Amino acid sequence: MEKIKIFSMKSPYREAFHISGYVFGSGEKSVAIVGAMRGDEVQQQFVCSQLVRILTDLEQRGMLAHDHEILVIPSANHFSMNIGKRFWPMDNTDINRMFPGYGLGETTQRIASALFDKLKDYETGVQLASYHFAGEFVPHVRVIKTAVDISAGAKVFGFPYVYLKTPEPFDTVMLNYNWQIWNTAAYSIYAGTTDVIDKTSAKQTWLSIIRFLSENGLVKRDVFPGYKSQVLEDKDFTTISAPCAGIFYKLKSSGNEVRRSETIAKILDPYNGSVLAQISAPKDGVIFFAHSKALIMEKTAAFQIV
């Protein structure tokens, strides 16, 4: 294992900001794995830290494939993480909305440019991503639809679901989309939670990545078989929004099966505790996403059901 420096920047008030990567093996640039690009992506950084630990052990035991290189970047925004902010603290911009980057631009553009220069030549890219809503997911792998269909490769991870997402305008400035434009097979993995560590979904995630590496001949390690992935598209989701604001009293969590008309959450008056609204499942299915904060605003996505 070799620790490399990908980006450095001096700070007038704090120690210098460095983005480091961990390189395993040498030769063909096979797989790059990127963790936290936002300051609240603690689960994502934790998963990457465990991958570094596992790959270090496998390399020491001679269980990595010859002539192949694996890169892991656990964090690209620990400045924000250190002060509890999601986005870049100086201007509140999102690194993952700046790709492919601009080396002479604003700070987050320069960070994105340095990252992409390092990442764009890898055959496969894996990003530990997070959703823009606060909540918990069924762990899954997401692929943005482009001209090349890589859904078969996504199934190798062994997650319950593979989500084929139709790109929207904002997707064009994200790492996943730009990776694919540069002919990298790009997969975004959602590891269940974001700002808290859930050990069960974290372990499921890092074992799924090891399974992917093993099935592609990059590591020699037995991993239990995963799920037979179900492929989802946008039409398969039903989003349920909160009818009003209040305390979010959740009765069902992500991964739970629900029946049509079953009560899955209540919204309570924060002053007198009365029930302001009940949220019911509109159909039979599985909760794919569930809001996780104690409070909810009107029209915020409370659940997604598949």
Q: What is the pLDDT of residues 153-166, one digit of tens each?
A: 999 999 999 999 99
pLDDT tier for residue 283 given thresholds of 50, 70 and 90:
very high
pTM: 0.93
Q: Residue 224 above 90 pLDDT?
A: no
pLDDT tier for residue 11 given thresholds of 50, 70 and 90:
confident
pLDDT at residue 14, rounded to an integer: 75
pLDDT at residue 2, rounded to an integer: 96
pLDDT tier for residue 288 given thresholds of 50, 70 and 90:
very high
- Start-end of CATH 3.40.630.10 domains in the chain: 2-233
Percent of the chain predicted with pLDDT > 70: 100
Q: Residue 33 above 80 pLDDT?
A: yes
Q: What is the pLDDT of residues 99-142, one digit of tens each?
A: 999 999 999 999 999 999 999 999 999 999 998 878 999 999 99
Mean pLDDT, residues 271-291: 97
Mind giving me the DSSP string for the chain?
Answer: -EEEEEEEE--SSSSPEEEEEEEEE-SEEEEEEEEE-STT-HHHHHHHHHHHHHHHHHHHTT-BPTTEEEEEEEES-HHHHHTT-SS-TTT---GGGSTT--TTS-HHHHHHHHHHHHHTT-SEEEEEE--SSSEEE--EEEEE--SS--HHHHHTT--SEEEEEPP-GGGGGSHHHHHHHTT-EEEEEE-S-SSS--HHHHHHHHHHHHHHHHHTTSB---------PEEEEGGG-EEEE-SS-EEEEES--TT-EE-TT-EEEEEE-TTT--EEEEEE-SSSEEEEEEE-SSEE-TT-EEEEE-
Mean pLDDT, residues 72-85: 94
- Start-end of CATH 2.40.50.100 domains in the chain: 237-305
96 or 148, which is more confident?
Answer: 96
> Under CATH, which architecture does the 2-233 domain have?
3-Layer(aba) Sandwich (3.40)
Q: Residue 216 above 80 pLDDT?
A: yes
pLDDT at residue 170, rounded to an integer: 87
Q: What is the pLDDT of residues 172-195, one digit of tens each?
A: 999 999 999 999 999 999 999 999
Q: Residue 240 above 90 pLDDT?
A: yes
Q: Residue 90 above 90 pLDDT?
A: no
Classify 237-305 by CATH class: mainly beta
Mean pLDDT for all residues in the chain: 95
